[in-house]
Structure 1
Amino acid sequence: MFKTVEEYINQYPREIQAILQKVRNTIKRAAPESIEKISYGIPTFYLQGNLIHFAANQKHLGIYPGPEAVEYFKDKLEGFKTSKGTIKFSYGKPIPYDLIEDITKFRVKEQMNRMN
């Protein structure tokens, strides 16, 4: 089991590490108040609860923002595989980092609204 996000990222080949690091930086930029940790065995950003998870899979990058975010962004997610709370970005296509940033910002607002 990994104790840090750095350990998790470092287990992968360099090309996957680069993608994971860019996703990590994108989320950090979009949610600077969040705390980075490992939860459910994968990188997680926490802000008044789990904000967003991400993980490397054999053929895709998994982003786990929860079902509300997947539903909210469904038009922008056409062409990507999704399921309840999960988005799969194939390594064979460019990773949409801007979309990941928008999804993260949506999740920050969602978490802040729950606290008020």
Structure 2
Amino acid sequence: MGSVDDTIGELRESDRAYLQHVVDVVRAARTDTEDGWSYGLPALLLEGKPLVAVAAAAKHLSLYPFSSAVIDAVALSLGGFSLSRGTIRFSAANPLPDAVVREIVRLRSLEITGE
């Protein structure tokens, strides 16, 4: 296990199961990621650069795509979710759609690799 799985494994069950699902969707969409850290968060890296990170807070879960442009690009698909320049907040009761997670991975991958 790497830093992402280890960190998720320490969370309460309700958060752990859904964050693991999000990470699994990211890894399926981009099989060449590796675990690492970015800005103090456990992150999936692509070519050594942060692709996405996930975290749990007291009242929400977060996905960090490390790009306000990516968040802007998917914002219309995320009505009802709390968004900021660098964070998408959600919960296991109100999960992110898998298709949106895959689109975030696709767009962020383009920023990193240009392809």
**What TM-score bracket applies, with the shorter chain setting the length?**
0.7 to 0.9
**Superposed displacement of residue 7, structure 1:** 2.1
Q: In structure 2, what is the Cα distance between the partners aligned to 1:15 and 1:25?
A: 16
**Superposed displacement of residue 83, structure 1:** 0.7
Q: In structure 1, what is the Cα distance between the partners aligned to 2:99 and 2:64?
A: 16
Q: What is the aligned-residue identity percentage?
A: 30
**Superposed displacement of residue 90, structure 1:** 2.9
Gaps in structure 1 of 5+ consecutive residues: none
Gaps in structure 2 of 5+ consecutive residues: none
1:27 aligns with 2:60: no
Contact 1:68-1:85 within 8 A present in 2 as well: no
Q: CA deviation digits over 1:17-37, x for unaligned, max 9?
A: 111211111111111112122
* SS of match in other structure, 1:72: helix
Do the aligned partners of residues 15 and 6 (structure 1) sit closer, same or farther apart at CA in structure 2, a change above 3 Å counting? same
Matches within 5 A, 1:31-70: 31-48=30-47, 49-65=49-65, 66-70=67-71
Q: In structure 2, what is the Cα distance between the partners aligned to 1:9 and 1:70?
A: 23
Q: How many equivalent pairs are there?
A: 112
Which amino acid counterpart does residue 108 of structure 1 have in structure 2? S
* SS of match in other structure, 1:73: helix
Q: CA deviation digits over 1:59-93, x for unaligned, max 9?
A: 22111111010111121122111111211113332
Residue matched to 1:104? 105
